[in-house]
Structure 1
Amino acid sequence: MLTYHEIMSTDFGPLNTAADKWQSMADEIHKVELAYRDSVQKITLGPQWLGESATVAHTNFAATRYEYQAAQTQAKATATLLRNAHQQFVELKKQLENARADAVKAGMKVSEQGNVAYDWDKLTPAERTAARHDPDHARTVRESEQSWADYIKACVKAVDDADKDLKKDLEAVVKDGYGNKNDETLGTGFNGDAGKVSQADDKQKQDRTQLAALKIRDNETLEDYLLRLQRTGVEKISGSKEIADLFAAVQKGTITAGAFARAISKSGSSGLKLYKYLKKEKPITAAGTFLGSRINARIASAAPGSFWSRMPPNLVGALTGSDEAAKLAYARAGSAFVPTAAEASLITVAKNGGLAEAAKTAGWLRGAGVVGGVAATAYGLANLSTYNGDMIKADPAKFASDLSGTAFNGSLTALTVAPSPVTLGLTIGTGVVYAGCLIWDNHEAIGDGIEKAGDWIGDKASDLGEGISSGAKKLGSALNPFD
């Protein structure tokens, strides 16, 4: 495998020089082919030479000319591979150089071998002493060192992958194919299909340089992966790393605040429902059915000629859920309990009345809640599946918030599908735990966020303005079909 030092110390210019020589070779072979066609092969194409010997000569001469043509194709393909490799290696090396520069800017030292370590020399003796005795700072340093080391290793691996692909393609481009017209040297001559190899390499180069960022990295959760893609997209569109950083910070803060508010509000409302159930024997309603149950109650008690009495019952039932469908399913089971659509368990309705009756009972609003809850739980499980033991040890708070968030979404979905004291209690418990984990995971950002935001704005205001201006121009150009 290529090393960091080999990549950083290698001049890739000779690849272009070699590519020019291969292209020049193809041009010279083309001249020879034309001369052969006009001075040798044409002898067999006229009426002067007839008979068996002429037929054999025609076949052999055509085969020779084919080899001249195949040699040109092979030489051109080799030139294309070398040019692609040069462009790709230069771009990937630049990416590695930028990664190193960013790491140094973030307070790291990067050795000639690519080893990353925190640059303690930038601190004063007093700051070093204080930092070394601060457990939170030490943990942050270790995490930062590992993060930058992993990033630089990923950049090195990208170059190594490109190098291995080049070797594979150069070996493939010289292998003669089988069965082409006039090819009489099956498997032993020049490769007339070499152009297919270079075309595939063009596509592969494009995929790596443009789509490499779309691959999930080692030690990266699904959530981190999606956030990184969004941040990269903002940076490419705007041309400003500062704008992308601000976008990522605002987005993470908004999502976290929204999740915290949702967990607290659902836990609070569920706690109130459980209290009313235990103290006042009020039925438990499914999550997300407050509006629907109020509308259904208004329609059921509406006076003739009033606004609510004129509402199309089928339309309202399709939106908020059908009380009749719920009652019918429970009656079939011989239950003495007659629930409204908001109180009915969709599992019970489906068991006794079928899926169609369950859909009628749910209505569009509750049905959307079920679908959204299932999707959120599935996403949470997929995100958890991307964790490994090292990732959990490195950031247990983040893992805890992701785990409790998935449990909360699952409990809330269960409450939406089948309201009961059990699902209600699970929603309360997982919601409280999730809210606590969010605070644990984001306590530093909560405490330091305003101060850091102020410092960032003060330090980066001019850069941000330039980034916005440059990014706006790029975005306008991208959206202008006549540019």
Structure 2
Amino acid sequence: MARITKLGLDWVSFTVAAGVVTTQSVALVNVYAINPVMRHYFNSPRRFLGAPGAWLPGQLGSFFKNNRAIQRMLSVPGTSGFRGRAFGSLWDSARRLLPNSRLFAGATPNTWINRFVGNDRFAHRLGYNPRVGTESVRGVRAGQTRLDWVARNVYSKAQGMGAGRWSAARTAVSGAAKAGGFLRFAGIGGGVAATGFSVANVVAQGNPVDAFKDDPLGYAADIAEVGFNASLTAAMVAPNPVTIGLAVGTGIVYGGLKIAENWDSVKETTGKAVDGIKNVAGGVADGAKKLAGKLNPFG
């Protein structure tokens, strides 16, 4: 039972890592390889990296996957930028139609949406590199904003207004939360907790040399898990090529080590799947032969 539970947890971890590697690799290629070409030749708008797991209007398309027209559009290569702009415009238009009356707890519907997914305007206004200035603002959505920049800028402004260090620090955290929204902050909190558990797991194994000798692949996978969780958390806080590149790289290493650690189970499962396919294919072939024999007018 313990082995089955471990395999299940390893599979969940591998699935998460594979998802991050796939989606963020595509994002890096789109933003830094495809988008510059599209901007140069077709005057396309500039695209930005987003925090992994952050809600963006482009993800509205997932609600329409059962629609045939949407499925056809999703299958066309190179349309991700168009989809993002289309759903982003649709989302903004829908929000403008919402009533401005205070419906619940003294807040309007748009206020609650900002609290849940992040305040785009606030994030855009304060999401600039404090060392460069306001011309370095990146992205137009809260999910594309670096929360560390927002926090530092809010902190500086609070101190400039006479706030003490602790008061300015509290204001900075509150400002970052306002820019990021509940969903993103929940993801960051989960990442911090996952990193802490990973570190505790490595520490609990005692002397690194002895732990590596006892289970080389398992211990190496545990170390890679720490790096993956830490880099993914950093990417959620400050999405940029370095943090997202580290998340992709550590995710590849972690996933590969997990496969190697559970190779016997993977091979067994793969073998059963192949045997099942062979049995089905053989049954279909036998059925086809029998049907052809019955339909053969020459017997």
Tell me, yes or no, whether TM beats 0.5. Answer: yes
Q: What does residue 356 of structure 1 align with?
A: 174
Q: What does residue 121 of structure 2 align with?
A: 324
Contact 2:21/2:248 (8 A) holds in 1: yes
Q: What does residue 371 of structure 1 align with?
A: 189
- Offset of 1:448 from its aligned partner? 3.8
In structure 2, relative to structure 1, the CA distance for the partners of 1:376 and 1:332 (3 Å cut) is closer
Cα deviation code 1:145-196 (max 9, x no counterpart): xxxxxxxxxxxxxxxxxxxxxxxxxxxxxxxxxxxxxxxxxxxxxxxxxxxx
Cα deviation code 1:65-121 (max 9, x no counterpart): xxxxxxxxxxxxxxxxxxxxxxxxxxxxxxxxxxxxxxxxxxxxxxxxxxxxxxxxx
Q: What does residue 381 of structure 1 align with?
A: 199
- Name structure 1 gaps, 5 residues minimum: 1-245, 453-483
- Offset of 1:321 from its aligned partner? 0.7
Comparing 289-298 and 354-363, the one that deviates more: 289-298
- Offset of 1:315 from its aligned partner? 0.4
- Offset of 1:449 from its aligned partner? 6.1
In structure 2, relative to structure 1, the CA distance for the partners of 1:305 and 1:438 (3 Å cut) is same
Q: What does residue 146 of structure 2 align with?
A: 345
Instruction: Please tell me the residue identity of whatever aligns with 1:421.
Output: P
C-alpha distance in 2 between matches for 1:304 and 1:324 = 14
Alignment of 1:62-461 (within 5 A): 246=1, 248-279=2-33, 280-281=35-36, 282-291=47-56, 294=59, 297=88, 298-302=90-94, 305=97, 312-330=109-127, 333=130, 334-336=133-135, 337-339=137-139, 340-353=141-154, 354-387=172-205, 388=207, 389-448=209-268
Identity among equivalent positions (%) equals 32
SS of equivalent to 1:301: helix
C-alpha distance in 2 between matches for 1:303 and 1:343 = 19
- Offset of 1:299 from its aligned partner? 3.5
Instruction: Please tell me the residue identity of whatever aligns with 2:134.
Output: S
Contact 1:317/1:363 (8 A) holds in 2: yes
Contact 1:408/1:427 (8 A) holds in 2: yes
C-alpha distance in 2 between matches for 1:278 and 1:350 = 26
C-alpha distance in 2 between matches for 1:327 and 1:264 = 31
Normalising by structure 1, what TM-score? 0.39
- Name structure 2 gaps, 5 residues minimum: 37-46, 61-86, 155-171, 273-299
Contact 2:198/2:225 (8 A) holds in 1: yes
Comparing 298-307 and 401-410, the one that deviates more: 298-307
C-alpha distance in 1 between matches for 2:200 and 2:255 = 21
Contact 1:292/1:342 (8 A) holds in 2: no
- Offset of 1:305 from its aligned partner? 4.1
- Offset of 1:355 from its aligned partner? 1.6
Contact 1:318/1:363 (8 A) holds in 2: yes
C-alpha distance in 1 between matches for 2:229 and 2:95 = 40
Contact 1:292/1:320 (8 A) holds in 2: no
Tell me which structure has the larger Cα radius of gyration.
1
Normalising by structure 2, what TM-score? 0.62
C-alpha distance in 2 between matches for 1:441 and 1:414 = 27
Cα deviation code 1:408-464 (max 9, x no counterpart): 111110110000000111011001001100011111222346999xxxxxxxxxxxx
- Offset of 1:391 from its aligned partner? 2.1
Contact 1:277/1:284 (8 A) holds in 2: yes
Contact 1:373/1:413 (8 A) holds in 2: yes
C-alpha distance in 2 between matches for 1:304 and 1:418 = 29
Larger relative contact order (Cα-Cα within 8 Å, sequence gap ≥ 6): 2
In structure 2, relative to structure 1, the CA distance for the partners of 1:303 and 1:323 (3 Å cut) is closer
- Offset of 1:260 from its aligned partner? 1.1
Contact 2:24/2:244 (8 A) holds in 1: yes
- Offset of 1:343 from its aligned partner? 0.8
